[in-house]
Copies of this chain bind each other. A is one copy, B any other.
Amino acid sequence: MADSGWPGCARSLKGVVLDMCGVLYDSGEGDGVAIPGSIEAVKKLKASDLQLRFCTNETQATREKFVAKLQRLGFDICVSEVFSPAPAAVAVLKERGLRPHLLVYDGVLPEFDSVDKTNPNCVIIGDAAENFSYQNLNEAFRVLIGLEKPLLFSLGQGRYYKETDGLKLDVGVYMKALEYACDLKAEVIGKPSPMFFQSVLNDMGLQPHEALMIGDDLVNDVGGAQHCGMKGVQVRTGKYRPSDERHPTVTANGTVDNLARAVDMILGQRGH
Q: Given the complex of chains A and B, what is the CA–CA distance between A160 and B169 in angstroms?
A: 22
Q: Counting CB contacts under 8 A, is A145 at the interface?
A: yes
Knowing A134-B133, A166-B142, A167-B141, the reply to whether A181 touches B177 (Cβ < 8 A) is: no
Q: Does A131 count as interface, using CB distance less than 8 angstroms?
A: yes
A209–chain B nearest beta-carbon distance, Å: 32
CA of A145 to CA of B173, assembled, Å:
14
Inter-chain CA distance A75–B131, complex, in Å, is: 42
- In the complex, what residue of chain B is closest to A140 when comparing beta carbons? B169
- A241 within 8 A of partner (CB): no
Query: Cβ of A159: which chain B residues have Cβ within 8 Å of it?
Result: 180-181, 183
Does A85 make an interface contact (CB < 8 A)?
no
Q: Are A176 and B167 in contact (CB under 8 A)?
A: no
Residues of B near A173 (CB, < 8 A) are 137, 141, 177-178, 180-181
In the complex, residue of chain B having the shortest beta-carbon distance to the beta carbon of A170: B181
Query: Within the assembled complex, what's the spacing in Å between the Cα atoms of A102 and B185?
Result: 30
Q: Please tell me if A129 contacts chain B, counting CB pairs below 8 Å.
A: yes
| A160 closest partner in B (C-beta) | B181
Interchain nearest-CB distance for A225 vs B (Å): 22
**In contact, A132 and B130 (Cβ under 8 angstroms):** no
Contact code string A123-165 (vs B, CB < 8 Å = 1, else 0) = 0000011111111011001100100000000000001100000
Note all chain B residues with C-beta closer than 8 A to A238: none
Does A196 lie at the interface of the complex (its beta carbon under 8 Å from any beta carbon of B)? no
Shortest C-beta distance, A104 to chain B (Å), equals: 13
A247 at the interface (CB under 8 A from B): no
- Does A168 sit within 8 A of B, measured CB to CB? yes
CB closest residue in chain B, given A137: B169
A83 an interface residue at 8 Å Cβ cutoff? no
In-complex Cβ contact of A169 among B131, B138, B168 (8 A): B138
Query: Among the listed B177, B179, B183, which residue makes an inter-chain contact with A174, where contact means beta carbons less than 8 Å apart?
Result: B177
- Select which of B130, B135, B137, B138 is within 8 A of A135 by beta carbon: B130
Q: Can you list 6 A-B contacts with CB-CB less than 8 angstroms, sorted by A residue number?
A: A132-B134, A141-B160, A145-B167, A159-B183, A173-B177, A176-B180
B-binding residues in A (CB < 8 A): 128-135, 137-138, 141-142, 145, 159-160, 166-169, 172-174, 176-181, 183
